[in-house]
C-alpha cells in the first residue's frame, strides 16, 4: 500500500514541479536563476564575525586554528577577509552603473583595490569603536566593566557592524553594506542604515526598536535610548527622493530618550539638547533646549475603581531611564 501511495503522490507532484519551473520563465524580478553570480549572505556574515575578531583581537577566539602568536593569527585573518571581501565586491559591482560595462577581469582588479582601501581604514574604524565603548561604559551605571559590554551589549554590536558597513558605503560598494547592517538589525532590533554618518562616542542604551535613516548625521557624544526614530517625514516620493537629505541632523552632546521621533532632512537638533521620551519633532531645536512631553498624573477613584489620566498643569519633563 505504501508503494502505491508514493506513486500517486509522485504523479501529483510532477505537474506541480513543471508548473513552478514554467513560472520561472516569466518576467518577474524574482525569476533570476544565476545564483552563483549573486552575493553570498553567509560569506558576508562570516566576514562580520571575522571583522569582530580583528576589531576586538583579545575577545573572540578562532575556533578553527590554534596559534601561539596572536599576530600570525590576525595576519591570516586579515588576508582572509580581504580575499573574500574582494570576491563579494566583484559580484556586487554590477549593481553600480559605473561598472556595468567592465569585464570580469576588470571588476576583479577594481574589487581588490576597494577591499585593500577598506582594510587600510580598519585602524580608523577601531579608533571610533573604542570611543563608542568608552561612551557606553561611562554612560551606563549598570555596566560593571567594558568586557561585559563587548560580549553582551546589542548597542555596541550594532554600532560596530555599522562602522564597518559605513566605510564600504563610502567606497560606493553596493548591497554588501546593507546586508551587514540588516544582519545586525536582525540580531539586535537596531536598524541603522550604513549611509548614516555617526561621530565618535556614540552610545545606544538598550537599543531595541531604534531606527536611524540613511542621510542622518549624528555628532559626537550623542546618547539615544530604545525606540528612537531618526527618520524621514514622508516616503511617498519613493525613488524620486534618492540622494536627498531626508533625515535629521543631531549635533554634539545630544540625549534622546525612549520613544522619541525626530523626522525630516531640514530638522537640526542643536548641541546639548535633551529630548524627552515620546516626543515627536519635525522642526529644528535650538542649542541647549530641553524638549519634553507634558507629564500625566493618574487619578484613582477607589469607589468605582476607575483610573483616569489627567494632564498636570505644571510643565514637567518626562525622561524615561532604565
CATH assignment of the domain containing 134: 1.10.3130.10
Q: How many domains does the chain have?
A: 2
**Predicted pLDDT at 17:** 81
Same domain, 165 and 242: no
- Domain end call among 169, 190, 211: 190
Residue 70 CA to residue 84 CA, distance in Å, equals 21
Same domain, 166 and 78: yes
Same domain, 182 and 81: yes
Scored b (16 or more CB within 10 A) or e, 212-248 reads bbbbbbbbbbbbbbbbbbbbbeeeeeeeeeeeebbbb
Q: Is residue 42 part of a domain?
A: yes
Q: Is residue 2 part of a domain?
A: no
The residue segments making up the domain with residue 102 are 36-190
Q: Is residue 239 part of a domain?
A: yes
Taking 3-state DSSP, the helix, strand and coil percentages for the chain, each rounded to the nearest 5, stand at: 45, 15, 40
Same domain, 44 and 177: yes
- Domain end call among 164, 190, 216: 190
**Predicted pLDDT at 314:** 45
**Predicted pLDDT at 22:** 83
pLDDT along the chain (322 residues), means of 10: 62 82 82 77 96 91 64 88 97 92 94 98 98 97 96 98 98 97 98 98 97 98 98 72 87 97 97 96 96 77 58 47 38
- Domain end call among 190, 221, 240: 190
Same domain, 124 and 208: no
Same domain, 202 and 170: no
C-alpha cell at 51: 571583522
Q: Is residue 17 part of a domain?
A: no
The model carries a pTM of 0.85
Amino acid at each position: 500500500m505504501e508503494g502505491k501511495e508514493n506513486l500517486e503522490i509522485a504523479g501529483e507532484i510532477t505537474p506541480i514541479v513543471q508548473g513552478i519551473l514554467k513560472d520561472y520563465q516569466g518576467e518577474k524580478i524574482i525569476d533570476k536563476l544565476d545564483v552563483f553570480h549573486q552575493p553570498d549572505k553567509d560569506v558576508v556574515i562570516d566576514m562580520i564575525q571575522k571583522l569582530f575578531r580583528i576589531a576586538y583581537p583579545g575577545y573572540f577566539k578562532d575556533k578553527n586554528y590554534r596559534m601561539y602568536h596572536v599576530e600570525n593569527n590576525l595576519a591570516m585573518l586579515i588576508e582572509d577577509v580581504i580575499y573574500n571581501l574582494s570576491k563579494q565586491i566583484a559580484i556586487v559591482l554590477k549593481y553600480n552603473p559605473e561598472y556595468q560595462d567592465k569585464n570580469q577581469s576588470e571588476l576583479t582588479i577594481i574589487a581588490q583595490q576597494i577591499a585593500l582601501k577598506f582594510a587600510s581604514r580598519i585602524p580608523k574604524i577601531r579608533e571610533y569603536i573604542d570611543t563608542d565603548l568608552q561612551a557606553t561604559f561611562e554612560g551606563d551605571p549598570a555596566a560593571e566593566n567594558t568586557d561585559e559590554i563587548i560580549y553582551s551589549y546589542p548597542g555596541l554590536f550594532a554600532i560596530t557592524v555599522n562602522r564597518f558597513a559605513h566605510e564600504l558605503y563610502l567606497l560606493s560598494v553596493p548591497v554588501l553594506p546593507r546586508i551587514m547592517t540588516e544582519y545586525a538589525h536582525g540580531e539586535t532590533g537596531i536598524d541603522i542604515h550604513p549611509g548614516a554618518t555617526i561621530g565618535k562616542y556614540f552610545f545606544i542604551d538598550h537599543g531595541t526598536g531604534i531606527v536611524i535613516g540613511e542621510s542622518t548625521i549624528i555628532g559626537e557624544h550623542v546618547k539615544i535610548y530604545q525606540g528612537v526614530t531618526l527618520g524621514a517625514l514622508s516616503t511617498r516620493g519613493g525613488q524620486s527622493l534618492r540622494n536627498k537629505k531626508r533625515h535629521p541632523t543631531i549635533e554634539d552632546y545630544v540625549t534622546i530618550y525612549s520613544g522619541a521621533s525626530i523626522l525630516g532632512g531640514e530638522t537640526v537638533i542643536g548641541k546639548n539638547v535633551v529630548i524627552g521620551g515620546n516626543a515627536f519633532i519635525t522642526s529644528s531645536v535650538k542649542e541647549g533646549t530641553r524638549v519634553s512631553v507634558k507629564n500625566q498624573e493618574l487619578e484613582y477613584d477607589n469607589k468605582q475603581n476607575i483610573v483616569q489620566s489627567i494632564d498636570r498643569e505644571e510643565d514637567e519633563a518626562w525622561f524615561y531611564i532604565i
